[in-house]
Amino acid sequence: MCDRRNRGIRSKAAALAAGVLAVTLVAVGATPAYAAEDTERPTAPGPITVAAIDTTWVELTWAASTDNVGVVRYPVSARFEDNGLTWSTETNSIRITGLRPSRTYTFFVSALDAAGNGSPSTAPLRLTMPPGDDQPPGAPGQPVAFDVTATVVRLRWAHAVDNAVVERYEVFRVDTGGALTLIRDVSQYPPVNSAQISGLTPNTTYTFVVRARDEVGLLSPLSAPVTVTTLPPPPSCAVRSIVGQWPDGFVAQLAVTNTGPTPIDGWTMSWRFYAGQKLRSLWGAELVDRDSSYLRVRNLRHNRLIPPGGTVSLGVAASGAQAPQEVSVNGGLCTVADE
Q: Are residues 324 and 291 in the same domain?
A: yes
Query: Please, which residues bridge with residue 202 across strands?
Result: none
**Cα separation of 251 and 122, whole Å?**
69
Q: Is residue 94 part of a domain?
A: yes
Report the number of distinct structural domains present in the chain.
Answer: 3
Chain length of the chain: 339
Q: Are residues 242 and 300 in the same domain?
A: yes
Q: Are residues 209 and 265 in the same domain?
A: no
pLDDT at 89: 96
Q: Are residues 242 and 331 in the same domain?
A: yes
Share of the chain above pLDDT 70, in %: 89
Tens digit of each residue's pLDDT (9 = 90 or more) over 237-252: 999 999 998 888 999 9
Last residue of a domain, one of 128, 163, 179: 128
Instruction: Report which DSSP code applies to 13.
Output: H
**Cα separation of 184 and 172, whole Å?**
7
Q: How far is C-alpha 57 from the geometric centre of its chain's CA atoms?
A: 27
**Cα separation of 337 and 339, whole Å?**
6
Q: Is residue 120 part of a domain?
A: yes
Q: Are residues 153 and 216 in the same domain?
A: yes
Tens digit of each residue's pLDDT (9 = 90 or more) over 299-309: 999 999 999 99
3 state SS of 2: helix
Q: Are residues 288 and 328 in the same domain?
A: yes
Tens digit of each residue's pLDDT (9 = 90 or more) over 180-213: 999 999 998 888 999 999 999 999 999 999 999 9
Secondary structure (DSSP) of 248-260: TEEEEEEEEEE-S
Q: What is the mean pLDDT of the chain?
A: 87
Where residue 34 falls among pLDDT bands split at 50, 70, 90?
low
Terminus-to-terminus CA distance in the chain, angstroms? 123
Residue partners of 333: CB distance under 8 A and separation at least 6: 234, 326, 327
Q: How far is CA 89 from CA 38, 58, 77, 84, 94, in A?
A: 22, 14, 11, 17, 7
Q: CATH number for the domain including 215?
A: 2.60.40.10
Identify which of 97-101, 169-173, 261-265, 267-271 has the greatest average pLDDT. 169-173
Query: Please, which residues bridge with residue 287 across strands?
Result: 297
Q: How far is CA 212 from CA 125, 160, 188, 223, in A?
A: 29, 7, 10, 9
Query: Would you say residue 321 has pLDDT above 70?
Result: yes
**Cα separation of 183 and 170, whole Å?**
8
Q: Is residue 67 part of a domain?
A: yes
Q: Is residue 84 part of a domain?
A: yes
Q: Are residues 328 and 243 in the same domain?
A: yes
Query: Would you say residue 106 has pLDDT above 70?
Result: yes
Q: Is residue 99 part of a domain?
A: yes
Tell me how crowded residue 316 is: count the other CB atoms within 10 A of its CB: 25
Q: Are residues 123 and 52 in the same domain?
A: yes
Apex 301 CA angle, 296 and 302, nearest 5: 110
3 state SS of 20: helix
Where residue 338 falls among pLDDT bands split at 50, 70, 90?
low
Q: Is residue 8 part of a domain?
A: no
Residue 253: what residue type? Answer: Q
Q: Is residue 48 part of a domain?
A: yes
CB 94 within 8 A of CB 60: yes
Residue 120's domain spans which residues? 42-128
Q: Is residue 1 part of a domain?
A: no
Last residue of a domain, one of 128, 158, 179: 128
Residue 139: what residue type? Answer: A
Where residue 27 falls among pLDDT bands split at 50, 70, 90?
very low
Q: Are residues 51 and 120 in the same domain?
A: yes
Residue partners of 199: CB distance under 8 A and separation at least 6: 151
Last residue of a domain, one of 229, 262, 278: 229
Least confident of 49-53, 134-138, 221-225, 303-307: 134-138
Apex 207 CA angle, 203 and 212, nearest 5: 140
pLDDT at 125: 96
Q: CATH number for the domain including 319?
A: 2.60.40.290
CB 102 within 8 A of CB 134: no
C-alpha neighbours within 13 Å on the C-beta side of residue 282: 16
CA dihedral 191, 145, 200, 202 (to 10 degrees): -160
Q: Are residues 251 and 216 in the same domain?
A: no
Q: Are residues 244 and 329 in the same domain?
A: yes
Q: Are residues 97 and 171 in the same domain?
A: no
Tell me how crowded residue 216 is: count the other CB atoms within 10 A of its CB: 20
- 160 or 321, higher pLDDT: 160
